[in-house]
Amino acid sequence: MGTPDFSVPCLQRLFDMGCEVTGVFTQPDKPKGRHGVLTPPPVKVLAAERGVPVYQPVKMRDGTALEMLKEANPDLAIVVAYGKILPKEILEYPKYGCINIHASLLPDLRGAAPIQWAILRGLTETGVTSMQMDEGLDTGDMLISKKVEITPDMNAQELHDKLSSLGADVMQETIEALVKGELKPVKQGEGESFYAQMLTKELSPIDWRDSAQEVHNKVRGLYGWPCATAKLGGKVFKIHETSLTHEKGSFPGEITDKNGRLSVCCGDGRCVEIKVLQAENKKAMPAGDYLRGNPVTLDRFDITEV
């Protein structure tokens, strides 16, 4: 049971392991692009290539999904970024229940966007945890976890790709331990978790009164979507890449360098250099290229919210 790119390595690994994949549950096809072309989820594409039955229930609690699951009749359900909450009758139908491959070191970062929030919160490591699912939101017993380092300039897409690959390893190790009877479930502690809420565009505006590290984390964490944004002279820019510098400034939002580089002072007096930005209705480009065609005459970015 999975939907986006993140889920694909796990499905592929099931095939590579020689598992009998009796069915794939995924979200319904959705319109994409300017012309609204109905597009299948990445998991469906792989399942179709391998000739595996694909199930796309719209609702999980009206009995339709349960009938589909009975048709597939699995011993075990592997759930990876499916995007739907599973009711009790689904969780309990497979002989060995449902095991979730979650992109964090549980119990921290339960919720919909653990990859992005790991960076937004300035963590230096995260990982993947397999979990025996229950009716709570990412609250089931932990099974196996593996860690990865979050390097200082790693963005959400790069971390996504690392964790997606690691997820397949954690899943395989979990299944092999299950078959051998060697799994040792560990209950999650309470009060130790940060809820990684779904991302929204309301998170995008950069507040230059934040520290340079916090601004850098926002740009990295929101990379891809919804993107960090900043306003300069009333115009909104998406900020795709920044780096921390040793420069100092006088006040938040101050542009300390605009001669081929675009450096901005943050709330702690330190600066970040904007490396890649995107003007409204334009393509993303290196800041140096933008400055050559669009000289900046202002001395500060707007502090007011975008």
pLDDT digits (tens, 9 = 90+) for 221-275: 999 999 999 999 999 999 999 999 999 999 999 999 999 999 999 999 999 999 9
Q: Is residue 306 part of a domain?
A: no
- Residue ranges of the alpha helices (H) in the chain? 8-16, 42-49, 64-72, 88-91, 114-120, 156-180, 212-221, 287-293
pLDDT (0 to 100) of residue 303: 87
Do 38 and 106 fall within a single domain?
Answer: yes
pLDDT (0 to 100) of residue 306: 44
Do 19 and 54 fall within a single domain?
Answer: yes
CATH of the domain at 15: 3.40.50.170
pLDDT (0 to 100) of residue 42: 98
For the chain, give the longest Cα–Cα distance.
Answer: 68
Do 162 and 233 fall within a single domain?
Answer: no
Q: Is residue 187 part of a domain?
A: yes
Mean of pLDDT values over 262-289: 97
Do 78 and 154 fall within a single domain?
Answer: yes
Phi, then psi, of 172 in degrees rounded to 5: -60, -45
- Looking at the structure of the chain, the number of domains it has is 2
CATH of the domain at 269: 3.10.25.10
Do 237 and 139 fall within a single domain?
Answer: no
Residue 33: pLDDT band by 50, 70, 90 thresholds?
Answer: confident
Q: Is residue 298 part of a domain?
A: no
Domain finish residue from 147, 168, 196: 196
Helix/strand/coil for 134: coil
Do 229 and 287 fall within a single domain?
Answer: yes
Do 48 and 170 fall within a single domain?
Answer: yes
Q: What is the pLDDT of residues 53-105, one digit of tens each?
A: 999 999 999 999 999 999 999 999 999 999 999 999 999 999 999 999 999 99
Q: Is the peptide bond before 107 cis (omega within 30 degrees of 0)?
A: yes
Q: Is residue 303 part of a domain?
A: no
Do 97 and 170 fall within a single domain?
Answer: yes
pLDDT (0 to 100) of residue 191: 67
Do 220 and 174 fall within a single domain?
Answer: no
Do 35 and 164 fall within a single domain?
Answer: yes
Enclosing domain of residue 11: 5-196
Q: What is the pLDDT of residues 137-163, one digit of tens each?
A: 899 999 999 999 999 999 999 999 999
Q: Is residue 305 part of a domain?
A: no
Q: What is the pTM of this model?
A: 0.95
Q: What is the pLDDT of residues 176-219, one digit of tens each?
A: 999 999 999 999 987 678 999 999 999 999 999 999 999 999 99
Sign of CA dihedral 132, 138, 142, 145: positive
Residue 304: pLDDT band by 50, 70, 90 thresholds?
Answer: low
Report which residue type is found at 108: D
Q: Is residue 88 part of a domain?
A: yes
Domain finish residue from 196, 211, 245: 196
- Measure the CA–CA gap between 281 and 206, rounded to whole angstroms: 19
Domain finish residue from 139, 161, 196: 196
Radius of gyration of the chain (CA): 22
Do 180 and 208 fall within a single domain?
Answer: no
Q: Is residue 117 part of a domain?
A: yes
pLDDT (0 to 100) of residue 305: 54
Do 181 and 243 fall within a single domain?
Answer: no
Q: Name the residue among 104, 77, 80 with its Cα closest to residue 90.
A: 77
pLDDT (0 to 100) of residue 190: 72
